[in-house]
């Protein structure tokens, strides 16, 4: 009977959805799907201290399908694109036919409950979405509790409380806008990933009481521009200049404008790249320009971020633009686009060579050897000597010294470049270290947000 109920629930139109919906405000979705990774496993055991339920996810809200408050362990079996749910005794409870990005298993208390799987503990519930040859492992949880696992990964808990609150509102606004827009990773079955591509999320294992308090103290607060919630971008340090989204990414937003940052602290760094490293980087981008002859910066923003680099080789040129520069060089190495470039030029190599001594005009052949242009001594074969063979050779006596040494300097390969930079990250929107400095000087979190995002309201 359980099997029949499960199938019917999965296939039927949920008539009473409103009675079971977990709703938030109009602009703040109640829940979010976070992609943790992709796995090929087809069997999962989940433990739910508060019991579990089957839910349907749609546009940031969840709807209760069936509840099992007295069942503490569930077995999920992935088979033929379906997710089958069994209790600990092997009785089938549910089959998710159709779109597996909609159905998931979660705690009966989705706001505060937890579950454990494979030695890890998470808030909310687990969704498995068929993706290629494996399944996307997706943590579905309250958007507010999601921030508990984001803040400690994106900003140090040692920062002042007002800076942490500003970060909480930024992270909430970004997440809410992403969900309302249909999800950044909808093709993989989730709204946001757990990496820097979206926002770094560490789950319960990274939670901090101070960061959680900052999220709770600003619950439901978003950044608005022209009456609509917006994505709030941020970086660790903008190098003293807030960049516009138009120049850095090519897409303009009225609240993401360029201006000097009077609060951002210095963050200087240096890195060097050899000739071979440069050629390898260019080859990885599909550019084979031969031996490098020159590297130069050809375009910048008003704040100094590099928008274009040109590489000249003996077989052509290559131009690298905007964020592609950091991607190719490595974002952890090339910490920002605000940098200056110094060419090391060509490597100079010191070599010792041998040169022939001054040629004699008249010679006797019977007691002599021949020294050719390279300084090599050869026995003179009198039977083969012709006049022209002596025109480029020096004939010397057998017992005389034949080596004349000379030290010279020659150009070798291109000797690479040195990069001297400032800042860390793309520089658009809020500087996290700038927010720290503002909070240290007594500014509140709304002041911080309005300083970095032009013409916004926070509510």
In tens, the pLDDT along 170-179 reads 999 999 999 9
- Report pLDDT for 348: 61
Q: What is the pLDDT of residue 398?
A: 45
Mean pLDDT of the chain: 85
Q: Rounded to an integer, what distance in angstroms lies between the CA atom of residue 167 and that of residue 153?
A: 11
Sheet holding 61-68, edge to edge: 61-68, 52-58, 103-107, 125-131, 134-142, 31-39, 192-193
Task: Give the pLDDT band (50/70/90) at residue 365.
Answer: very low
185-199 tens-digit pLDDT: 998 899 999 999 999
Q: Of 100-109, 203-212, 292-301, 302-311, which range is least confident?
A: 100-109
Residue 202 scores a pLDDT above 90: yes
Report strand pairing: 43-47 vs 73-79: antiparallel
More confident call, 251 vs 225? 225
d(CA 274, CA 256): 36
Residue 13 reports pLDDT greater than 50: no
pLDDT at residue 226 greater than cutoff 90: yes
Are the CB atoms for 33 and 191 separated by under 8 Å?
Answer: yes
The yes-or-no verdict on residue 25 having pLDDT over 70 is no
Indicate if the pLDDT at residue 228 is higher than 90: yes
Whole-angstrom distance, CA of residue 294 vs CA of residue 276: 14
Q: Which of 157, 150, 170, 239 is nearest to 430 (CA)?
A: 170
Render pLDDT for 339-360 as a digit per residue (tens, 0 to 9): 999 998 766 667 666 666 554 4
Q: Give which of 135, 39, 48 is closest to 84, Cα–Cα.
A: 135
Greatest Cα pair distance, the chain, in angstroms, is 118
Percent above pLDDT 90 for the chain: 68
What pLDDT is attached to residue 100? 74
User: How confident is the model at residue 159, as a pLDDT?
Assistant: 98
- The pLDDT of residue 452 is 98
């Amino acid at each position: 009977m359980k099997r029949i109920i499960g199938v019917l629930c999965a296939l039927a139109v949920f008539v009473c959805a409103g009675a079971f919906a977990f709703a938030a405000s109009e602009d703040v979705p109640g829940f979010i799907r976070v992609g943790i990774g992709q796995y090929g496993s087809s069997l999962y055991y989940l433990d739910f201290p508060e019991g579990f339920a089957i839910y349907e996810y749609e546009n940031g809200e969840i709807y209760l399908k069936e509840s099992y408050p007295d069942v503490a362990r569930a077995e999920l079996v992935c088979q033929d694109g379906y997710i089958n749910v069994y209790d600990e005794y092997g009785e089938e409870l549910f089959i998710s036919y159709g779109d597996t990005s909609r159905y998931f298993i979660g705690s009966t208390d989705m706001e505060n409950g937890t579950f454990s799987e494979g030695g890890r503990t998470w808030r909310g519930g687990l969704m498995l979405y068929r993706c290629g040859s494996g399944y996307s492992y997706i943590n579905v949880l309250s958007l507010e509790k999601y921030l508990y696992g984001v803040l400690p990964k994106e900003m140090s808990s040692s920062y002042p409380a007002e800076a942490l609150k500003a970060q909480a509102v930024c992270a909430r606004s970004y997440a809410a806008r992403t969900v309302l827009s249909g999800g950044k990773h909808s093709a993989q079955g989730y709204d946001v990933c757990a990496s820097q591509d979206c926002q770094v999320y560490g789950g319960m294992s990274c939670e901090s009481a101070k960061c959680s308090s900052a999220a709770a103290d600003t619950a439901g607060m978003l950044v608005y521009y022209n009456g609509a919630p917006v994505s709030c971008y941020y970086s660790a340090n903008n190098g003293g200049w807030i960049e516009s989204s138009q120049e850095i990414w090519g897409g303009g937003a009225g609240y993401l404008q360029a201006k000097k940052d009077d609060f951002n602290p210095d963050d200087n760094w240096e890195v060097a790249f050899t000739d071979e490293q440069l050629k390898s980087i260019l080859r990885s981008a599909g550019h084979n320009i031969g031996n490098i002859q020159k590297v130069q910066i050809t375009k910048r923003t008003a704040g100094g971020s590099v928008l274009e680099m040109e590489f000249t080789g003996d077989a052509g040129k290559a131009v690298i633009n905007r964020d592609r520069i950091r991607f190719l060089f490595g974002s952890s190495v090339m910490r920002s686009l605000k940098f200056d470039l110094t060419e090391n030029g060509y490597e100079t190599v010191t070599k010792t060579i041998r040169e022939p001594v001054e040629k004699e005009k008249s010679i006797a052949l019977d007691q002599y050897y021949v020294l050719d242009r390279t300084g090599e001594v050869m026995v003179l074969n009198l039977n083969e000597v012709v006049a022209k063979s002596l025109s480029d050779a020096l004939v010397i006596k057998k017992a005389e010294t034949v080596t004349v040494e000379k030290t010279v300097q020659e150009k070798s390969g291109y000797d690479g470049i040195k990069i001297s930079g400032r800042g860390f990250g793309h520089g658009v929107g809020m500087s996290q270290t700038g927010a720290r400095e503002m909070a240290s000087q007594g500014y509140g979190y709304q002041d911080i947000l309005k300083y970095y995002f032009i013409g916004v309201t926070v509510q």
